[in-house]
A = this chain, B = another copy of it.
Amino acid sequence: MKKIIVLLTLFLNSLLVLAQNQDSLFIRSVFSNALTDNTSYENLRTLCKKIGGRIGGSPQAAKTVSWVEETLKKIGADTVYLQPCMVRNWKRGSKEICYATTAKNVKQKFDVCALGGSIGTGVNGIKAGIIEVKSLDELKLLGEEKIKGKIVFFNRPADPTLYNTFRAYGGAADQRFIGPSIAASYGAIASITRSITVVTHKYPHTGIMHYIDSLPKIPAFAISTIDADNLSTIINKDASVKVYLESTCYDMPDTISYNVIAELKGSEFPHEFIDIGAHMDAWDITEGAQDDGCGVVEMMDVIRMYKQLNYKPKHTIRVVEFMDEEMGQRGARVYAESVKKNMEKHIASIESDEGAFLPQGFSFESGDETVEKRFEQWKYLLMPYGLWNFHRGYSGVDISFMNDQKFPLIGLNNDSQRYFNYQHAATDVFESITLRELQLGTASIASLVYLIDKYGF
């Protein structure tokens, strides 16, 4: 009996070693394929250079939907379809203007842009005194008396001492997101927010802002970090400085747009899904290469690669290219609702929205403790490719609307050091992409999807 157990153990062990070797070899083939294929790079070039910025509701967003649909069909997905969603239809209008006039009548121009969702000043602009604050709390201390009729200038920098720049971003974002409304509650007539980035340069970074319903709406701007410093210097020298602001943004009625969904049908469980998602929309002042064109083309590329490697997944791999992440995540909401309504069985939902930088691991939320265990088991297969960091945590905006479901939401985590050189600014162009980093993004996702497809959660 003892002999039989020993033999059986040896046999099972050798099966395990065989499976591990297979996994290791397949993942090697995934990385080799990605690192020698330029399809995703050329797709991204097309998206950035032929279409460019593509905020929800814009003609470019509509073009993107068609191009993504067509490209996924060309790649050979089994099914490609559009999922309609209504989206906000905000327009920037003409290029914004900002300058300060000192007591000695010296004019100085600044690089600004309207925040996404802001109302405009109109063509006659706004000219007023300005008051600099470092926090929302400071507004309370100053009170209506000092703020009323003025422009509020939020100038607290994203904290450069934080290693993870997403944390630095998060720590400054209140000034952009609700700052304008809070300023308005004390009588401010416009606001300027320091661009939320750890880099000092001349490009303003836009991004969505939110008006609190009960408060007056005021025009809201972002200013480049260099000019935030310049403006601060001027104000500190001369409190009587007047600032002129002009923007012509406005909202049109909501309009229809689409998520683009493509599937590679599962051979054993065609009605069980592994989602891989990214967002198609991108701010109008960018080419949306890092945010999030790279994610869009990476997800397409997983399909290309699986077909080329002749890998037939057991579960259906569903590419979800979301619309409207930047403004209202309307595509993501519609998708999450459809998953719930159709009572679909999902194994996992993966998102890539951290640019095309060195992949370092995956975060995960929802799901049970099996997720931790699996990543622990898979670690040795992924670490040779720099994927070392697996942890529970927030995993992406678009998939977050499914966090009431039982399956895990997973985010590709990339090196964050360079992301905010580009996010929401004119610097987010195709040329900022490093080919190999984009390729490693595809390979990291394709490797994880393979493991999930094989072992599940």
Contacts and interface: CB of A to CB of B under 8 A. Distances in A.
A434 interface: yes
Contacts of A165: 436
A161 B386 CA distance: 14
B31 A161 contact: yes
A434 to B, nearest CB: 6
A23 interface: no
Interface string A373-388: 0000000000011101
A210 interface: no
Contacts of A385: 163
A161 B417 CA distance: 25
A419 to B, nearest CB: 11
A403 interface: no
A144 interface: no
Contact of A358 (B31, B32, B198, B415): B415
Contacts of A36: 160-161
Nearest to A168: B35
Contacts of A434: 417-418, 421
A435 B418 CA distance: 9
A440 interface: yes
Contacts of A389: 388
Contacts of A32: 161
Contacts of A384: 163
Interface string A22-45: 000000000110011000000000
Interface residues of A, number: 26
A386 B389 CA distance: 9
Interface in A357-398: 358, 360, 384-386, 388-389
A440 B162 CA distance: 11
A417 B388 contact: no
A417 B358 contact: yes
B435 A31 contact: no
Contacts of A358: 358, 415, 417
A77 interface: no
Contact of A35 (B161, B386, B421, B437): B161
Interface string A119-147: 00000000000000000000000000000
A35 B160 contact: yes
Number of this chain's copies in the assembly equals: 2
A199 interface: yes
Interface string A275-317: 0000000000000000000000000000000000000000000
A81 to B, nearest CB: 35
A65 B275 CA distance: 57
Interface string A404-418: 000000000001011
A31 B168 CA distance: 14
Nearest to A200: B435
Contact of A388 (B388, B418, B437, B440): B388
Nearest to A163: B385
A190 B122 CA distance: 70
Contacts of A421: 434
A198 B35 CA distance: 10
Nearest to A389: B388
Interface in A33-64: 35-36
Given A161-B36, A415-B358, A436 B198 contact: yes
Nearest to A165: B436
A388 B389 CA distance: 9
A198 B386 CA distance: 18
A273 to B, nearest CB: 30
Nearest to A28: B161
A388 B387 CA distance: 11
A169 B273 CA distance: 41
Nearest to A418: B434
Contact of A415 (B160, B161, B415, B435): B415
A431 to B, nearest CB: 13
A420 to B, nearest CB: 10
8 contacts: A31-B161, A160-B436, A163-B386, A198-B436, A199-B435, A417-B436, A417-B440, A418-B436
Given A31-B163, A36-B161, A386-B415, 4 more contacts: A35-B160, A199-B435, A417-B437, A418-B436
